Amino acid sequence: MGELQLDPIPSVLIESMRDIGYSFESAIADIIDNSITAGAKHIQIEVRSEGNPAVAIIDDGDGLSRDQLIAAMRMGSSDPREQRSLGDLGRFGLGMKTASFSQCRRLTVYSSQSGVANAFTWDLDYVVETNSWSVIEQTNFQEVNFYNIFPSTGTVVLWEKIDRLGQQSSSGKKVTSSFERLVSDAEEHIALVFHRFLAGEPGCPKVDITLNGRQIDPLDPFNKKHSATILGPEELLPGGVVMQAYTLPHRKKYSSQKEYEKYGLRGGYQRNQGIYLYRAKRLIIHGTWFNLAQKTAITQLCRVRIDIDNTNDEDWKIDIKKVSAQLPEEARATIRRLLSRLSSPSKGVYKRMGAKQTTSASYPTWEIIKDSGLTRYAINRSHPTLLELQVLLNEDQTRKLSHTLDVIESGFPLDSLFVELTNNPETVVTPVIDEISFAAIVRDFFTHLKGQGIEEQTIIDQMRSTPIFSNSWDKVLRILGIKES
């Protein structure tokens, strides 16, 4: 039996390695993983967009000796089968190179340890030209980009010849992507993926990260600090995996629309419901039910945190980019059994909100009528505003008003509403009533109930529990000329 050695062709393989599928933000995150593993407390990301674009990720970690740096520049510098320390965010020993090559054609890594600095460069054009796995050693550091802010101890990953930020249009003209948008997306991605490190959560080393001098604040997808967030009990899955469900607050519990949208994350609440998988406290994948359930409007507030450590990589099929995973069969079976209980608080929030709209004391504009297993929505004919209007109408006009309400009810856009609530629930809003009309509604409502002999304080209490008024309560009091103690 003969043996034939087939070494990969450098100029071909290194170009293929660029297309593993990193985005700009996931490539940045992969470099940050190395910095955190190296014990960095401060990570500085500098993005230069003018002239020749360049990106530098600078940390104050342990740094690397010359031999360690050479090993780190080697393709496949560590064995994924070897046992790692629990805080090690690496996996294949390829991340720094593949992440960098996905964005640039020139990668320089500078590292300083014990006062001794070294730097090596992968230049893909040089690899193609020489057709060899050759790195270039840098000897004059002052000629390297960003040298004036290099750390005395730590590591710098520098991207130059960035060529993946644009694409060719049909006319052949190069269209450059917005660097500002990429930087903004990267900032949000880092705030989410590393939120437990940025917050200094127990069990995580506290890390500060800046982007072009701006501090990145943690973005907790579970909004644990909000008093209305519901925390479920921790569940233990096979393999020492820990799971916990969270139910986010309903939109009405937020102080502003901006705050509500912040925790909806990119794409909104419905898209981002589901499982949030963390490996060694670092977010790997989020907003998925792993085909165990559908994403519905009524479960959109449910998010489930699953924590694994780096000894679970093979079971969970963590990929090289650390952006995808697969549920092991044992975990899948357990989660499927628990799924109904995990999502029930989210359903309960919407049911309670619905109940508030239909309580008899709140005079709802619409009534929910259930009959013979069917549900329909009807205008509340006993609403004080309608009753006050009917006082002014004769019998024929009252009959025509009733027919008009029938037409409005029959045209209720149920199908359209269902589609919008399923796909874009945060965009469904109620119409805004102008100031003059609102004042007239307040006065008519109050006048009608008072004309029935109801005490003023009782009327005030009932109006306070009616959404159209409770949402603008200070305005209602001003219109009625009432001061509450």
Task: Give the DSSP letter string of 408-464.
Answer: HHHT--HHHHHHHHHH-GGG--PPPPPHHHHHHHHHHHHHHHHHTT--HHHHHHHHH
pLDDT at 77 exceeding the cut of 60: no
| Closest alpha carbon to 466 in 357, 387, 353, 368 | 357
User: CA–CA separation, 406 vs 402, rounded Å?
Assistant: 6
Give the range among 23-37, 82-96, 182-196, 241-255 with minimum mean pLDDT. Answer: 82-96
Q: What is the mean pLDDT of residues 25-42?
A: 94
For strand 214-215 and strand 366-371, is the pairing parallel, antiparallel, or unpaired? unpaired
Residue showing tokens 């994403």: 295
Residue 308 CB contacts under 8 Å (≥ 6 apart), including other chains:
239, 241, 277, 278, 279, 316
pLDDT digits (tens, 9 = 90+) for 216-240: 999 999 999 999 999 988 988 888 8
The pTM score is 0.72
Positive or negative, the CA dihedral 305, 310, 314, 319 is: positive
Band of the pLDDT at 405, cuts 50, 70, 90?
confident
Checking phi first, is residue 18 left (phi over 0); if not, alpha (psi -120 to 50) or beta?
alpha
Beta bridge partner(s), residue 455: none
Computed over every residue of the chain, the mean pLDDT equals 84
Band of the pLDDT at 329, cuts 50, 70, 90?
confident
Give the whole-number percent of the chain exceeding pLDDT 90: 39
Instruction: Specify the pLDDT at position 353.
Output: 57
Instruction: Specify the pLDDT at position 89.
Output: 52
Which of the pair, 90 or 16, is modelled with greater confidence?
16
Q: What is the mean pLDDT of residues 136-165?
A: 90
Which of the pair, 450 or 31, is modelled with greater confidence?
31
pLDDT digits (tens, 9 = 90+) for 161-212: 998 765 444 444 444 456 778 888 999 999 999 999 999 999 899 999 999 9
pLDDT digits (tens, 9 = 90+) for 274-300: 999 999 999 999 999 998 888 888 888
pLDDT digits (tens, 9 = 90+) for 99-120: 999 999 999 999 999 889 999 9
pLDDT digits (tens, 9 = 90+) for 419-442: 776 667 667 777 888 888 888 888
Band of the pLDDT at 246, cuts 50, 70, 90?
very high
Give the whole-number percent of the chain exceeding pLDDT 70: 88
Q: What is the mean pLDDT of residues 363-382?
A: 80
Q: Which domains does the chain have, with CATH numbers?
A: 10-215 (3.30.565.10), 230-356 (3.30.230), 361-480 (no CATH)
Instruction: Specify the pLDDT at position 351.
Output: 58
Residue 252 amino acid letter:
K
| Total H helices, total E strands in the chain | 18, 17
pLDDT at 21 exceeding the cut of 50: yes
Beta bridge partner(s), residue 112: 117, 154
pLDDT at 49 exceeding the cut of 90: no
Q: How many CB atoms lie within 10 A of CB 291?
A: 8
pLDDT at 72 exceeding the cut of 70: yes
